Amino acid sequence: MEQRLLAQGTGTNNTINVYPDRVEIRTGWDNENANSLGLKQIANVSIRGLVNCTLTIEVNDGRRLNVERMALPDARQVKAAIEAQKQKAGLYE
């Protein structure tokens, strides 16, 4: 059963999809590499920049995943969706 997509954004060679229970980052040629993160694994989400934004997702194990050269509305939409899902699940401070 396919879950519904809450938010989606694209950056340089990256696509980020936000689902109700996870965040999926697809990279590579034709988005063949998928990295899926559960909401519990995400520690923080931040945006840097105004024109070509960088969305940074900090993972609990110390990794920082950057999606570079995103449009600001896409970055804001993805960040808001992740924070809303974490708050709904009771995982956000």
Q: What is the CATH number of the domain that holds 77?
A: 2.30.29.30
Distances (CA, A) of 43 to 25, 69, 71, 79: 16, 22, 23, 12
93 within domain boundaries: no
1 within domain boundaries: no
30 within domain boundaries: yes
Share of the chain above pLDDT 70, in %: 95
Q: What is the pLDDT of residue 2?
A: 63
- Report residue 2 as tokens: 């396919």
pLDDT digits (tens, 9 = 90+) for 49-78: 988 999 999 999 999 999 999 999 999 999
Q: Where are the beta strands (DSSP E) in 4-52?
A: 7-11, 14-18, 22-27, 33-38, 42-48
pLDDT band at 12 (very low <50, low <70, confident <90, very high): confident
Residue-number span of the structural domain to which 47 is assigned: 7-88
Q: What is the pLDDT of residue 73?
A: 94
Mean pLDDT of the chain: 90
54 within domain boundaries: yes
12 within domain boundaries: yes
